[in-house]
Amino acid sequence: MPAAALSDTAKLCVHTITTKPLPLEQALELYPRYGVHGITVWRQALEGRDVKTAGRQIREAGLEIVSLCRGGFFPAREAAKRQAAIDENRQVVDEAAKLGAPLVVLVCGAVPGQPLTESRKQIRDGIAAVADHARASGVKLAVEPLHPMYADDRSAINTLRQANDLCEELNHPAVGVAADVYHLWWDPELEAQIARCGKLGRLWAYHLCDWKTPTTDLLNDRGLMGEGCIDLRGIRGWVEAAGFRGFNEVEVFSTRRWGMDQRAYLDEIKRAYLEHA
Amino acid sequence: MPAAALSDTAKLCVHTITTKPLPLEQALELYPRYGVHGITVWRQALEGRDVKTAGRQIREAGLEIVSLCRGGFFPAREAAKRQAAIDENRQVVDEAAKLGAPLVVLVCGAVPGQPLTESRKQIRDGIAAVADHARASGVKLAVEPLHPMYADDRSAINTLRQANDLCEELNHPAVGVAADVYHLWWDPELEAQIARCGKLGRLWAYHLCDWKTPTTDLLNDRGLMGEGCIDLRGIRGWVEAAGFRGFNEVEVFSTRRWGMDQRAYLDEIKRAYLEHA
């Protein structure tokens, strides 16, 4: 059953990348004015800042930290590079712990030309090598399956089925899933795999935006909710039926939106969220 | 097991769209000089020509007609438009029969914002409404699953599993599958679904090109074999293990390649085919 319209913004989270031109301090000042209650912090937004202090400032602004974006990128042809990726991911976990973020989102990685089966094994092994440290740090890891158009160099995990399979195989309390409508909306198995993810107790994050027709850029032409063809109410209905009660995270990469006044944009986000999410 | 390198171009087919700037007559003159033995004709290449005559000219040039591209685009919100699509597809079948093409490739269609489940039903019903006419005309229909990035407005059939399911459901002797590496290479189920398609006796066409990193345009930035990350020998190995003995069809949409000298391009196609296909 499709979800009911949202009557308030209590569960509205915005990713800092969505309003990329805003320095973190300005985001903290503006987000609450536009009804935003949760924030997912991209690591770039922390550059040159003390992470603990940033975490305190975020909480003082009245925002809940939903997750830290992003870890991952485990596959590499050389063992030394794979080890470097594991070390880097442990640092990301430490950063999340300092920030006070309960979750790290993983864009798992891929190497152009390396067999996908090999990249998938390296992803499994990389996550396995970080998971205990994450658990000990009180941080969870969310595998985000990425759209198949990113299978060349961003992620060899391209469907929710694969992410669920990976969670089952690793069977680790710190490893779950982030479901993003942009990556998953086309999948004929989506409803079934969302339900399965819920049964596994692994549905830990829900990201939204929209798919525009035409889409003019593979990376930075995402639409705001309502601008595209994704059945947002339908998918949120499945997500909620699977037991998810977390934030609805607005994650939009858009060259056009990054070029506009970010206050006007935040106002647009709030309206699009209430009308279409 | 990966396929062995191709030792000759006996199975090399080129889609007329690949060399879009060439009028059909020029393609017929040039293709054989560059080792091309098969041709898949896009309908645009027939515009303003008598179809029967064109078919005869193609055969006289020594080329085998592999298929006619393309039918499909069945879904629409209004019943009248869906009926118009069915009528149009019957005409495409007639055109294929006149041309002497044994196969029509179907890009099944999608309507932005219409539920994919609904579009998928309309596709099934549309193909069912054309299949008997195709059979009576001696023409087969090949469902081509399209990459998920085209699920908004080009095809709601996005995996080989879906195409196989559709063939099983329709269970019609005139309905099979065209497998294109560009659309399918990322799929973790690809090997299994190619094998299944073979067992169903439905694997009727094999299209190739490559996936470039980065890909700068969703439509017209395909790579020539060897320029990208697709495991072409691996996939051809699966296709041949599934019993496929047809042509290897080079189908490349590339704004850059369309802008170059088409003789030099055909030479490049031949070399890329022998080195990488």
**B250 pLDDT more than 90:** yes
Provide the shortest C-alpha distance from residue A183 to chain B (in Å).
9
Residue B194 and residue B237 in contact, taking contact as beta carbons nearer than 8 Å:
no
B-contacting residues in A 73-92 (Cβ below 8 Å): none
Task: Identify residue B56 by its one-letter amino acid code.
Answer: R
DSSP B206-242: EEE-B--SS---TTTBPBPTTSSS--HHHHHHHHHHT
ipTM of the prediction: 0.96
Q: Give the H/E segment covering residue B178.
A: strand B175-180
**B1 pLDDT more than 90:** no
Which CATH class for the B12-272 domain? Answer: alpha beta
Asked if A186 reaches chain B (Cβ–Cβ under 8 Å), the answer is: yes
B208 pairs with which residues across the strands?
Answer: B250
Chain B CB contacts of A218 below 8 Å: 149, 214-216, 218
Tokens encoding B276:
């990488």
Q: Which tens digit of pLDDT belongs to each residue from A211-264?
A: 999 999 999 999 999 999 999 999 999 999 999 999 999 999 999 999 999 999
Asked if A218 reaches chain B (Cβ–Cβ under 8 Å), the answer is: yes
Asked if B182 reaches chain A (Cβ–Cβ under 8 Å), the answer is: no
Chain A residue with CA closest to B163: the answer is A188
Around Cβ A210, how many Cβ atoms within 10 Å? 22
pLDDT, mean of residues B16-35: 98
| B147: CB partners within 8 A, 6+ apart | A148, A149, B158, B182, B183, B184
Provide the shortest C-alpha distance from residue A215 to chain B (in Å).
8
Q: Give the H/E segment covering residue A104.
A: strand A103-107
Rounded to two decimals, the pTM is 0.97
Confidence of residue A1 (pLDDT cuts 50, 70, 90): confident
Q: Strands, DSSP E only, in B59-113?
A: 64-72, 103-107
Q: Which tens digit of pLDDT belongs to each residue from A60-85?
A: 999 999 999 999 999 999 999 999 99
Q: What percent of chain B has pLDDT over 70?
A: 100
Tokens encoding B48:
């303003």
Q: Which tens digit of pLDDT belongs to each residue from A38-63?
A: 999 999 999 999 999 999 999 999 99
Q: Which CATH number among 3.40.50.970, 3.40.50.1820, 3.30.830.10, 3.20.20.150 corresponds to the domain A12-276?
A: 3.20.20.150
Provide the shortest C-alpha distance from residue B145 to chain A (in Å).
13
Specify the pLDDT at position B174. 98
Chain A CB contacts of B188 below 8 Å: 116, 120, 158-159, 162
- Whole-angstrom distance, CA of residue B249 vs CA of residue B251: 6
Chain B CB contacts of A228 below 8 Å: 112, 152
Q: Estimate the crossing angle of helix B160-170 against helix B116-136, to 10 degrees.
A: 50
Task: Establish, for the pair of chains A and B, how many residue pairs have beta carbons separated by less than 8 Å.
Answer: 71
Select the residue of A113, A218, A229 nearest B218 (Cβ to Cβ).
A218
Provide the shortest C-alpha distance from residue A216 to chain B (in Å).
7
Q: Which tens digit of pLDDT belongs to each residue from A186-220?
A: 999 999 999 999 999 999 999 999 999 999 999 99
